[in-house]
């Protein structure tokens, strides 16, 4: 019924292949909304099992799923929402050649992970394969989201924003997060993905959207491509 999407847009969603890395606080709402929207193929990677402490924010899992692989629990949830979606559940970390292969296959990649190393590896693979990346993060009462479209619109990459030689990023497991923050960010990742697939609206390319949940304030930072970025800049281009 939305004129911006219509039948043609729905067909694009049906034909889309989405890669989601992380089946936790962000991956849960993102994958659930994408499945409900009619995305045809979703591939999930996560090497963890469902724990009682996850249930406060990881809404794809229930108490009965404790001890189950997160990707299997999420797969079962998505198939209940939309039995026509094809869900590939991979219980392992996505690294190396497999990462490059999966990123190349995907139309859009969602980074729903919570560790520094994985984020930079995903970003590098997306830059190399020229695959759009929707990156989200949540901690305490704060959230952020951005979209990186390598090779398009002078897009920066994740490495333009954060230095790979910095300290390990904080994560929810060590610092806590109020549950709705992950829901907000994960839902926005799904929305940005739908926009990218259907080609509607303005994606968050070149912008970092940050939420302060305690003050309920949004801030937007404009991001520029860094010519000296070791991943996507002139230096990286000369190396290749």
The catalytic position among 126, 157, 172, 229 is: 172
The verdict on whether 172 is a catalytic residue reads: yes
198 token code pair:
């259907």
Please name which of 194, 198, 209 lies closest in space to residue 33, comparing C-alpha atoms.
Answer: 194
Cβ contact 98:120 at 8 Å: no
Q: Do residues 195 and 13 make contact, with C-beta atoms less than 8 angstroms apart?
A: no
Q: How many CB atoms lie within 10 A of CB 173?
A: 13
Q: What are residue 213's phi and psi, to 5 degrees?
A: -70, -30
d(CA 56, CA 178): 8
Helices (H), 44-83: 70-81
Q: Which of 78, 83, 221 is nearest to 145 (CA)?
A: 221
Query: Which DSSP symbol is given to 63?
Result: G
- Closest to 113 in 3D by CA, of 97, 99, 93, 130: 93
Cα separation, 33 vs 133, whole angstroms? 17
Active site residues: 172
């Amino acid at each position: 019924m939305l004129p911006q999407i219509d039948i043609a847009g729905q067909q694009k969603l049906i034909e889309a292949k989405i890669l989601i890395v992380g089946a936790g606080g962000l991956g849960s709402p993102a994958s659930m909304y994408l499945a409900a929207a009619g995305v045809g193929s979703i591939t999930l990677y996560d090497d963890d099992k469902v724990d009682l402490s996850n249930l406060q924010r990881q809404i794809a899992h229930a108490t009965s799923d404790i001890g189950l692989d997160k990707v299997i629990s999420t797969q079962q949830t998505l198939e209940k929402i939309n039995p026509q979606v094809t869900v590939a559940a991979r219980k392992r970390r996505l690294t190396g050649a497999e990462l490059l292969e999966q990123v190349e296959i995907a139309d859009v990649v969602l980074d729903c992970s919570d560790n520094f190393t994985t984020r930079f590896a995903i970003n590098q693979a997306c830059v190399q394969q020229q695959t759009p990346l929707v990156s989200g993060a949540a901690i305490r009462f704060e959230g952020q989201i951005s979209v990186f479209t390598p090779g398009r619109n002078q897009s920066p990459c994740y490495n333009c924003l954060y230095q790979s030689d910095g300290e390990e990023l904080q994560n929810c497991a060590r610092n806590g997060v109020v549950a709705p923050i992950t829901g907000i960010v994960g839902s926005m990742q799904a929305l940005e993905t739908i926009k990218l697939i259907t080609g509607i609206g303005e994606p968050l390319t070149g912008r970092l959207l940050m939420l302060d949940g305690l003050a309920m304030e949004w801030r937007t930072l404009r991001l520029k491509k860094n010519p000296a970025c070791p991943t996507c800049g002139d230096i990286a281009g000369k190396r290749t």
